[in-house]
Amino acid sequence: MNEEQIADFWTLFKEYLDKKHTELAAEKYVDMLADYGVSDETLKEATGADAVLDSAIQYYLDIDDEMFEDDEWD
């Protein structure tokens, strides 16, 4: 899946979501994309289409970066 498809799917379904649940839905959507093998680089490239999706992607990438920072390879 490329960055355009990620944004297209999100914008298609976002309009049918209850406004109270869009942030959580975006986070779950990004988690699902990552579980299916979408790379961090592709997620970064998908930003800019929607503020809620951008926030969810940034949240995911920050968590991912923190996990790698805690690992010590000494």
Return d(Cα 36, Cα 16) in angstroms, integer.
23
- What pLDDT score was predicted for residue 63? 65
- What pLDDT score was predicted for residue 10? 97
pLDDT in tens, 9-67: 999 999 999 999 999 999 999 999 999 999 999 999 999 999 999 999 999 998 655 55
- What pLDDT score was predicted for residue 64? 57
- What pLDDT score was predicted for residue 74? 46
3-state helix, strand, coil split of the chain in percent (to 5) is 75, 0, 25
Give the pair of three-digit tokens for residue 60. 């995911």
Confidence band (pLDDT; 50, 70, 90) for 68?
A: very low
Give the closest residue to 26 by CA, choosing from 4, 59, 48, 3.
Answer: 59
Q: Which residue ranges make up each domain of the chain? A: 3-70
